[in-house]
Amino acid sequence: MAPMQHLHVSIARQTVQILDGDAVVWQAPVSTSQFGTGEVPGSFRTPLGKFHIDDKIGGGAPWGAVFKARVPTGDVWQPGMAVESDLILTRILWLAGDEPHNLNTKNRYIYFHGTNHEDKIGTPASHGCVRLKNDDILALHDLVPAGTPVEITEE
């Protein structure tokens, strides 16, 4: 990925884009927080502002790999499996905040990650993270390096 490229998450559109300057080179639907936006710890809200991908986790794990505390459990979710909880699946891109108001983002464990609730992608339904379909988080994980700038905006 060229240095000019960055990610943009739109809360209003529920999308993530890879932008090269102003040109969209990749896009996918997402699900941000069902509780809205904000940076308060324990609020389960999606933070706003400028960030970077601080860590990439899960390279080589199978599609649907279940993560707990960023470690693969050995379980693999498949569509149709009855699961009550929200799972963190397939890959994790761990965000760190770059502005005074969102410096706590990494300690809040805000990620891009796959989900077992793919049917809710495109609507605000997460607990603060940016959820993607598992195919899309696989692609995004491969397309962007650690350090990639990220901006999350209301529009």
**For the chain, what's the residue count?**
155
Q: Mean pLDDT in the chain?
A: 95
Neighbours of 122 (CB within 10 A): 15
Strands 5-10 and 149-153: parallel
Write the CATH number for 119: 2.40.440.10
Q: How many domains does the chain have?
A: 1
Query: pTM, whole model, 2 decimals?
Result: 0.95
How is residue 108 annotated by DSSP? G
The per-residue pLDDT for range 52-80, each reduced to its tens digit, is 999 999 999 999 999 999 999 999 999 98
Domain range enclosing 18: 5-153
What is the spatial distance between Cα 142 and Cα 28, in angstroms, rounded to a whole number? 14
